[in-house]
Structure 1
Amino acid sequence: MERISLSNSAFEGNNNTYLFNDGPETVLIDTGDWMATTREQLEAAFDERELEFSDIDRIFLTHWHGDHTGLAGELQAASGANVYAHAADAPLIEGDEDAWAELSDLQEQYFEQWGMPESKRDVLREVLAGGKPTGESPTVTAFEDGETFSVNGTDLEVVHTSGHAAGLCMFELTRDGRREVVSGDALLPVYTPNVGGADVRVERPLEKYLRALQGIVDADYDRAWPGHRDPIDDPVTRAQYIIDHHEERSWRVLDALDRKGPCDTWTVSDDLFGDLESIHILHGPGESYAHLEHVERAGTVVREGTEYRLADGVADELATIDADRWPLEYSRSH
């Protein structure tokens, strides 16, 4: 397996596509986005290896976001390759108009529920329209959690890691006796994947993502190959760091409600992240919503209409805890 880095203008850093070419098949995991520069970079990488797009036999996609699937349709058209993705994301990757309309309608419902200002909605609508992949969409063969595919003698096992996206999956493999995983956006080396906004179809997004992270910790992988940037040599430590990060963020959500009183998701987002532009207009309140929904189900927060407030007695309890030690002390007592 080889990692090919492809440019990406987004904040997560360069995209990775993974090439299997050590046997009779030529297989890719993810394709990068649909931009001309990405296509040129991938074509150059193929040229260096004396390959052509027509040589591709199969393509596996970690999830539906365009920076991971953008070239899938073109590559399938050039090669006849089978394209695989989780069943939850397959309709969006195939460009199903009903699936995209349902996603757009659901986003609009959340914009209203979150209290997003109309001016910000207008900006975000333009961003989302520009972020929808163009060009030919692939025909997708759907897979489910736990399925295994043999690629040139290496088994790839699908590990469903919903949270950032409904169909986000990793691919577990063993190389040279080491347990490794192609982690997509489930585990990134620098940024923490957005939950709540990146795919509003996901119910209980933070709960599901924390479960996925704990699965990475329990699996004790030797290395992770992420969807962006460099390989992760200590996936367990990185996954635990992100778990701790989300625990701290939940504290910041409770602290915001303690200081501001009952307020909507957009107000909490503004307290956490400040003024937002571009795609962050979606990610900020989405992340805030994921945490508010999570602590609401825990009974720490009560939702009344579009506003959230601390449950009775929580403010008094928080006042007795040193904020610097909150994540540890409060989690031990709940």
Structure 2
Amino acid sequence: MTAGTTGRGGTGISILGTAQHTAWQERVLPPVERLTGGMWSVPVPIPDNPLRYTLCYLVPGDGGLVVVDPGWDTDAGWDALLAGLRAAGAALSDVSGIVAMHVHPDHHGLSERLREQSGAWIAMHPAERDSLPQRAGLAQPGARRESLRRGLRRWGVPEEAVKDLLSPFDERSADHRPFTMAEPDVLLEDGDAVPLPGRRLHAVWTPGHTPGHLCLREPDAGLLLTGDHVLPRITPNIGLSRAPDDAPLTRFLESLERTAAFDDHDALPAHEYRFRGLAARTRQLRDHHEQRCRELLTVIDGLGSPTVWQVAERLSWSRPWAEVGQMRIGALAETEAHIRHLADQGELDFTTPAPTRDADPSADVPAVRVRPAARTAH
């Protein structure tokens, strides 16, 4: 994720989770809280990550409850989740279902452990199921490193930077062990009801951050669980998790239009703090990406036919490019997503080399280059 605009003081945006906001500022875990409509917010820590925690939600129904985004799979995370259940007066035996709003490890990591201990079903969108590592060809040892290496080559990353960005994926890393994540028992399409008796909870498909990202709407209490789609201060990364031949930024902007329609709902995000003002916040996010597109066009116009890397290193980021570190991977993916969006609008020429059927999977791919679209004189 990249730094976005703070919600405090923004027109039409108000902070509801004041204890969460204070904890965010003080860089500590917020408290477990009972929310409108009888839901509970449970912070689950993320190890060694600036996001610090995922806000897991407990949604009670008749005779059971659904856990939304159990969090990162660590013993500390598991203990935090159990503590949240106890605070809500519940036990593992009360958990009937789990909804993964998307399958990043800070959301879906504990799902398998929770299913094993409770017998609950797991639900997600079909497109999210298809992006699971074992379905995307990334479960075998070294597969993620190889996929990333080819992506870095495609983006035109210099050799020294390739080595640097691949260094966390060496033979001692988790990438050299098989990696799978929990498969779903239930698939939720856009508009589907979560199978929780006594509670109206509906899936709202919001692709962009990931192909199958879901928000969850509880109309009776006027709540929208926004996952990573809309956060009060941070803009989610767009492009790092995407389906082949998808246009993630275009999908994200379309999803923001849908989300803005729930301006009378309280927003319950997966990170930071609860807020009200979805129309204003989604407008800020659209404006952010529009400004980024304008900046990107200016950079490309001055470079001629650059690679994605050459574009990204000249864009403005929250810190100097040389200090972005490992997050340059996400920055490159997001740069490509913006380029793809502008190419689809006819403002850039951008083609991604497609591997042939018989291509050696370990072979390098040519670096993608981008240039202003040719204009026909009238």
- 1:121 matched to 2:162? The reply is yes
**Which of 259, 267, 275 is the equivalent residue of 2:322?**
275
Question: Is the contact between residue 256 and residue 268 of structure 1 (CA under 8 Å) also seen in structure 2?
Answer: yes
Query: 2:328 corresponds to which letter in structure 1?
Result: I
Give distance in 1, aligned partners of 2:93 and 2:176. Answer: 25
Structure 1 residue 43, shift from structure 2 partner: 1.8
**Which of 182, 203, 213 is the equivalent residue of 1:138?**
182
- 1:172 matched to 2:217? The reply is yes
> Given the superposition, is the C-alpha separation of residues 107 and 33 from structure 1 closer, same or farther in structure 2, using an over 3 Å criterion?
same
SS at match of 1:189: coil
TM-score by length of 2: 0.74
Of structures 1 and 2, the one with the larger relative CO (CA 8 A, separation 6+) is 2
Give distance in 1, aligned partners of 2:147 and 2:125. Answer: 20
Q: Partner of 2:120 in structure 1?
A: 81
Identity of matched residues, %: 23
**Which of 206, 215, 219 is the equivalent residue of 1:161?**
206
- Give matches, 1:178-189, under 5 Å: 178=222, 180-189=223-232
Question: Is the contact between residue 73 and residue 135 of structure 1 (CA under 8 Å) also seen in structure 2?
Answer: no
- Give matches, 1:1-334, under 5 Å: 1-8=39-46, 9-21=48-60, 23-93=62-132, 95-96=134-135, 98=137, 100=139, 107-125=148-166, 127=168, 130=174, 137-141=181-185, 142-176=187-221, 178=222, 180-199=223-242, 201=244, 203-272=246-315, 273=317, 274-275=321-322, 277-303=324-350, 306-312=368-374
> Given the superposition, is the C-alpha separation of residues 105 and 136 from structure 1 closer, same or farther in structure 2, using an over 3 Å criterion?
closer
Query: 1:210 corresponds to which letter in structure 2?
Result: L
SS at match of 2:215: strand
Deviations 1:226-266 (A, max 9, x none): 11111121111101100010000001101111222220101
Give distance in 2, aligned partners of 1:246 and 1:213. Answer: 12
Give distance in 1, aligned partners of 2:247 and 2:207. Answer: 10
Give distance in 2, aligned partners of 1:53 and 1:136. Answer: 23
Q: Partner of 2:6 in structure 1?
A: none
Question: Is the contact between residue 224 and residue 231 of structure 1 (CA under 8 Å) also seen in structure 2?
Answer: yes
Question: Is the contact between residue 149 and residue 166 of structure 2 (CA under 8 Å) also seen in structure 1?
Answer: no
> Given the superposition, is the C-alpha separation of residues 220 and 240 from structure 1 closer, same or farther in structure 2, using an over 3 Å criterion?
same
Q: Which has the higher helix share?
A: 1
Give unmatched runs, 5+ long, in structure 1.
315-334
Structure 1 residue 118, shift from structure 2 partner: 3.5
RMSD (CA atoms): 2.8
Give distance in 2, aligned partners of 1:150 and 1:306. Answer: 45
Structure 1 residue 214, shift from structure 2 partner: 0.9
> Given the superposition, is the C-alpha separation of residues 119 and 143 from structure 1 closer, same or farther in structure 2, using an over 3 Å criterion?
farther
SS at match of 2:219: strand
The farther-off stretch of 302-311 and 225-234 is 302-311
The farther-off stretch of 82-91 and 132-141 is 132-141
Structure 1 residue 154, shift from structure 2 partner: 2.0
Structure 1 residue 61, shift from structure 2 partner: 0.7
Give distance in 2, aligned partners of 1:31 and 1:134. Answer: 22
Question: Is the contact between residue 257 and residue 309 of structure 1 (CA under 8 Å) also seen in structure 2?
Answer: yes
The farther-off stretch of 94-103 and 1-10 is 94-103
Query: 2:280 corresponds to which letter in structure 1?
Result: T
